[in-house]
Structure formats: C-alpha cells, structure tokens
Amino acid sequence: MNELKKYIVTISFSLIFIALIGVLFYNQSQIRQTPTIYVFDIETDDFYIKDIEFVVLPDYIYVAKQYLEVIGENKVFDGVSYGLSIGENMIVSLSQADDPFHLPDTANGKIYYNTNNLFENMKVSKEDSIHVEIHYKVNGESKDVVGEIKLSDVVKPFTLTGERKPIHLQ
C-alpha cells in the first residue's frame, strides 16, 4: 500500500510539473508575439485623413494618431466627422464642428488628432476589413463617403521603400 501511495504522488507531481511547463511555454509565446502595425491614408474629393495608424496585439488594439489635410483652396467646411470600425467595434470616432482647417490649432491646412485609444478584448486578423464613414459639408454641399478597406492591404512593412498612396473613397 505504501508503494501505491508513492506511485500516485510521483505521478501527481509529474502531471503538475508537465502542466506548469505547458503554461510557461504558452505565456512565453503570448509575450513574444510581434505586434502588427497598420498605417494608411484616406482621400476624399476635398481632404485627406493621413497617417491613420493602429497596432494590433492579441486581444488589444491601440489607435495612435491621424491628421486632416485640405485638398485645394477656397474651400469652406461646416463640420467634418468620421468613424472607422472593425466588425461591430468602432475604433475611431471624431467629429469637428465648424471648419477644422481654420481653427487656431491648425497649421498649413492641417489639423492633428491624437486619439490614443486602447481597446481590450478585440480579436483582429489580416482578413478583416475596416468600415469607413465620413460625413462633411463643404461650400454648402453635404457629402457622405462610405467604404471598406482590407487590413491585408494596409499592413505596415518593416521597411518603407516608397510613399504610400492614399486610398480614395467617394
């Protein structure tokens, strides 16, 4: 009977040891995962949304920044709003009343937005798409722009060997 107890204790410790090693390897693989960075520009007929950048880690998305830049001259805006979503999750939602290109913090027809949003418990893959909605009024005319952008098309390469072409949405 004594040998049976030793055998059960030995087997139990062995199973616990194997389970702990498995948990350790799993945790190390999660820590060492490389983040995926997505960077792109959106072009409408009247302005750009440039340097839209977000980083995807397992279960997390971090949205960094973007800026608006007017296209052309003699344009008067009466509000600009836009949203970016992946699936049912909105990752960027900005709205600016009046003319964003003529505010005190605008420089050379550009206005910068530092969103710095962290979203937890979101799973994103390169096969997903970003849904884009842009609403604005320019020179008295209301415009609505809607589109989809595949994430696989906007993955940031490790070396940037040329200029990004903006994605034109109408």
| pTM for the model | 0.75
CA atoms of 131 and 153, how far apart (whole Å) = 14
Q: pLDDT tens digits, residue range 70-121?
A: 998 889 999 999 999 998 889 998 888 888 888 887 777 788 887 778 888 8
In this prediction, residue 12 carries a pLDDT of: 87
Give the residue among 113, 109, 70 at the shortest CA–CA distance from 94: 113
Answer for the pair 133, 82: CB distance below 8 angstroms, yes or no: yes
List residues bridging with 129 in a β-sheet.
150
10 Å Cβ neighbour count for 160?
9
159 has a pLDDT exceeding 70: no
CATH topology of domain 36-168: Immunoglobulin-like (2.60.40)
